[in-house]
């Protein structure tokens, strides 16, 4: 039986983990290496590390922090932010990451997904998409540069194209739901899940235990990512997994 994954996320700015609401109002919440170690001990299935200002600041991901984090954990580790070339992917993987996450760079250069998949395998290529519902309600647009720029590209169509080019997994963040703690964007997730056959990670909006169960019971995602719930100690990974197990949802204990 394929188990559902629980994934803490470290949004990193200036070497510190931060969290905001709807991609704004960022507040510092801790040290990435210490938090990574804590989530590993709690039994997280994977860890996502996103250098959220690297692209906007026109710099590479902070490799030294990736190295320190990788030394502390022994679980799949995805790193994204500011990765613009196969050479930079290689640096991140050599620093200890298992997967690389591409967002803005893939939109600007879709062939980067193909190049990375050829070099490292599609299992290493995570297409991260920050999406926001259009004002007319007709669908979702892709945003880049940490949610600052609306590309006008339809998110579902872009994800289909990205998978065709070599993305082996989708990290889907709803900008509408992000930080609100009102639940994952089920409609957005289901639209993507019905369009592609690669694993989809739900991101943005989780606020309580029931939200984890909902996203899996509605078959909207293969994995659930959360940040502030774990950062502020409102829940532990272990608590979430025990709850899901009681709800007859397969998880790795």
Q: List, by residue number, the catalytic residues.
A: 11, 130
Residue with tokens 């889907």: 172
Helix axes 111-120, 86-94, angle to 10 degrees: 40
Distances (CA, A) of 55 to 60, 218, 223: 8, 34, 25
Distance from C-alpha of 58 to C-alpha of 249, rounded to nearest angstrom: 42
Helix locations, the chain, DSSP H: 32-42, 63-72, 86-94, 104-108, 111-120, 155-165, 186-193, 209-217, 228-231, 237-246
Distance from C-alpha of 245 to C-alpha of 151, rounded to nearest angstrom: 40
Distance from C-alpha of 251 to C-alpha of 17, rounded to nearest angstrom: 27
Distance from C-alpha of 194 to C-alpha of 220, rounded to nearest angstrom: 9
Q: How distant is the alpha carbon of residue 58 from its chain centre?
A: 21
Side-chain-facing half-sphere of 76: CA atoms under 13 Å: 15
């Amino acid at each position: 039986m394929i188990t559902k994954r629980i994934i803490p996320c470290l949004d990193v700015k200036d070497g510190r983990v931060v969290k905001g609401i709807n991609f704004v109002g960022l507040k510092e919440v801790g040290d990435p290496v210490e938090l990574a170690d804590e989530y590993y001990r709690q039994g997280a299935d994977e860890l996502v590390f996103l250098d959220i200002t690297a692209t906007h600041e026109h710099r590479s991901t902070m490799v030294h922090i990736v190295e320190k984090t990788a030394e502390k954990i022994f679980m799949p580790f995805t790193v994204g932010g500011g990765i613009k070339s196969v050479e930079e992917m290689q640096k991140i993987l050599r620093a200890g990451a298992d997967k690389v996450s591409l967002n803005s760079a893939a939109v600007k250069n879709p062939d980067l997904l193909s190049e990375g998949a050829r070099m490292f395998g599609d299992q290493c290529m995570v297409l991260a998409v920050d999406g926001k519902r259009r004002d007319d309600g007709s669908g979702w647009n892709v945003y880049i540069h940490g949610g600052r720029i609306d590309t006008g590209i339809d998110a579902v169509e872009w994800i289909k194209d990205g998978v065709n080019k070599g993305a082996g997994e989708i990290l889907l963040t709803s900008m509408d739901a992000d930080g609100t703690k009102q639940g994952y964007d089920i409609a957005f997730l289901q639209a993507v899940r019905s369009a592609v056959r690669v694993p989809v990670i739900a991101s943005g909006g989780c606020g309580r235990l029931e939200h984890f169960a909902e996203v899996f019971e509605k078959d909207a995602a293969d994995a659930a990512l959360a940040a502030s719930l774990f950062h502020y100690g409102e829940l532990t990974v272990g608590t979430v997994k025990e709850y899901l197990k009681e709800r007859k949802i397969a998880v790795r204990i």
